[in-house]
């Protein structure tokens, strides 16, 4: 018997034995489905939680900074103008940017005030 004739006779027997095994494997329920997505969902939820927490901290820090704005406090406006608060209103401030030059700005236009401004001054000097 040659090598090729042995392979030819063994191949049908192997495929016949593999057919029932394949039928049994397809009849059994497959793993995965929703359970495979659980880790991805958990990671997504944790990521959203940390993003919301970070934004909340930034919002609270900004509100605290705006609450510190009072007469005489040095401020940096969003457009890069430095000045001193001369009057505080409900939603705006009067800021003196030069001797005798007073402008009214919305409180949301203030980028830094008080101790936060010291950091901005140091960055400006560098």
- Tokens 């919301």 locate to 52
**Within a domain: residue 92?**
yes
Do 104 and 92 contact (CB within 8 A), yes or no? yes
**Within a domain: residue 23?**
no
**Within a domain: residue 17?**
no
**Within a domain: residue 104?**
yes
Mean pLDDT of the chain: 79
Amino acid 31: pLDDT: 57
- Give the distance from CA 104 to its chain's centroid: 34
pLDDT exceeds cutoff 80 at 17: no
The residue with greater pLDDT, 81 or 11, is: 81
The pTM (predicted TM-score) of the whole model is 0.55
The CATH code of the domain that includes 72 is 2.30.30.100
**Within a domain: residue 40?**
no
The whole domain housing 106 covers 68-125
**How many structural domains compose the chain?**
1
**Which of the 8 DSSP states describes residue 28?**
S
Q: What is the average per-residue pLDDT within 28-47?
A: 79
């Amino acid at each position: 018997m040659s090598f090729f004739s042995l392979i030819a006779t063994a191949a049908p027997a192997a495929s016949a034995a593999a057919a029932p095994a394949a039928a049994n494997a397809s009849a059994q329920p497959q793993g995965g489905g929703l359970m495979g997505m659980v880790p991805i969902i958990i990671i997504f939820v944790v990521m959203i939680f940390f993003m919301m927490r970070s934004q909340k901290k930034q919002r609270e820090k900004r509100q605290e900074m705006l609450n510190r704005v009072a007469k005489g406090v040095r401020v940096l406006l969003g457009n890069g103008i430095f000045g001193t608060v001369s009057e505080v209103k409900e939603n705006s401030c009067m800021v003196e940017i030069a001797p005798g030059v007073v402008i009214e700005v919305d409180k949301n236009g203030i980028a830094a005030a008080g101790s936060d401004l010291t950091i901005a001054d140091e960055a400006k000097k560098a």
